Structure 1
Amino acid sequence: MMENKYNLKSPAVKRLMKEAAELRDPTEHYHAQPLEDNLFEWHFSVRGPPDSDFDGGVYHGRIVLPPEYPMKPPSIILLTPNGRFEVGKKICLSISGHHPETWQPSWSIRTALIAIIGFMPTKGEGAIGSLDYTPEERRALAKKSQDFCCEACGCSMRSALLALSPNSNPTPEDHKAKELAQQINFKAESSSSRQASESGGAESEPSTLSQGESSTSGSQEDADGLQAEQAEASPAAAADEARPAPAPGSSRSLSPRQRRAQQRQRDGREPASRPTFPAFAAAAAAHQPRDGSHAGSTVLIVVLTLALAALIFRRIYLAHEYKFDYEL
């Protein structure tokens, strides 16, 4: 029936049908199978962990899988009152749809079932779908859970799992799933501690690292921006740094001739291939008209002096010539 309803080439369909074949037979601790008319909705039953407030209880729930499974996580909903998870509400775990960033495609429905059993004795700490009932209330609900019967799949908790036996040996698949579930528990503790630190508690290592990375990148960006602003706003300062420093006490007490001599000495010392900063180029352009005007004024003075001398000489010459003609 399932083969005719779904596309067997779909990765999600192939994965779910494989897992359904692996989980067909119930074990002492868990069992899960898809509904007859919906491969993407599974019903499961798990036994409460021993030596806990849930010891002796058998709990029923739903697993709703997305079409992108196993690339995206399933949603998990408990149907049996248990005192740890809310009934009929998607619970918030690192293996559920509330945390797609922590889901790994290598995890499976078997992994999720063992992880749920491992999560039950932990504290809810205000997570979505979590409860923190007293131990007495949880023990009472564990005894009462045996009477639960699912209306959708018709599963009774009294016969959902195999009876416990002292000589039962877990399968290799259970060992592998338990190792993955321990990783899930560790991630759940890390995420819960991070939530506690965000709400005002002590900071955890993952949050500290993320804050350190963000502060480092932010400070680096600020430093880069500051350097860019300094380079744009103060090119004259960069030009001043590139120029050689003047001798002490020789800035304003020098005459124009001494300043020109010092400028020529600097020009002779500096290489011809020095970088031309905008401010330096502007300063050089500003100096050039002054030097040219000074040289032009010197030439003009010389020319005027020569012209004046020529006029004086001509006047003297003409005066002597007039006097000679008068005497004759």
Structure 2
Amino acid sequence: MPRLLLLAPLRAQTGNGTTAQRIQDHLESAGHSCTLWDTYGCESPSAVAQLVSSGNFQGAFGIHLYKAGRLLQGIRIPFGIVFGGTDINEDIKCAEKVQVMEKVLDEARFAVSFTDAMKETASVYWPWARNKICVQSQGVVTSPNAFFNWKKFLQNAGIPQDHGSLRFFILICGLRRIKDPFYLVDAFTEWHREDPSVYLIIIGPAVDPVFAEEVKEKIKRVEGVLLLPEIPMEDLHAVVKKCFAVVNSSLSEGMSVAILEAMDLKVPVLARNIPGNAAIIKHKLTGLLYSSPQEFVQLSKNLIQDPSLREDIVTRAKEYVTKHHSWEWERKTYQNLALKLR
């Protein structure tokens, strides 16, 4: 079995980071030795080449066509690339980055796209690479902490003691601009003044420390919106199960694991209507898509007022994620791809 390097942006609780950990587990379960390495710790392709030489790696995976791909250029071992989301949705708007990503795709043995839509976008820019791009959706496994103390969690968050009739909406994201946690705050605050039973919980790490401070200052000045630090994954899944709905307000997404996990946990999702979210959510069937803060509030009210709509959505969402986001199938795909690096 070849010794593999897995190069990815590994900031805590970001999509690329959790994807990398999952792929590492898939590869190691097949007997590969797989070392995870953070792109933020590599300054240039020559630094990665030195790492490859000293670590005696025979093959590599990169997550993010630009951030990891540019560091794998010219490397003397075979590699494959996994699209990260912002590479195809955002970096592709920059001509200089497009040229770099083109060269990376040319050198890569294969590329992986989470959705058909991402593959089609990449194929518009690099039609010659279409046949080397395979589509593999994110796999999902959830494991809520059965011993999680929900009441203590609410107390620590400063929620009133009488919380039996409260409804919590949770936005799970690393605090950075692309996740746009400000998007719903003002509208939600206005709704909370009208209906004090609704709360928005924003939970996640300060990925961008400067921006995180802006978020903290904003939240201090509003009502009905709470900002909490990241918690262990099993605890987070337990919190999601207790919430009324999971919220996504991102400017751009590759494929949101938080959305898929909510579907698996049978918790409804209200997501901003962007391509990455629309690729996995069918409006009013497996979730709700909104295009403005005001529409978010109206759809949320509809969900509260119509329990049958909520039940239908979570039932169909669970069926969807079970059928299309199999963790076992994802494992087989990456294990087969690893064979192409020999």
Fold match (TM-score > 0.5) = no
* Larger radius of gyration between Structure 1 and Structure 2: 1
TM-score of the superposed pair, with normalisation by structure 2: 0.21
Higher relative contact order (CA 8 A, sep 6+): 2
TM-score of the superposed pair, with normalisation by structure 1: 0.22
Normalized per residue, which structure has more strand? Answer: 2
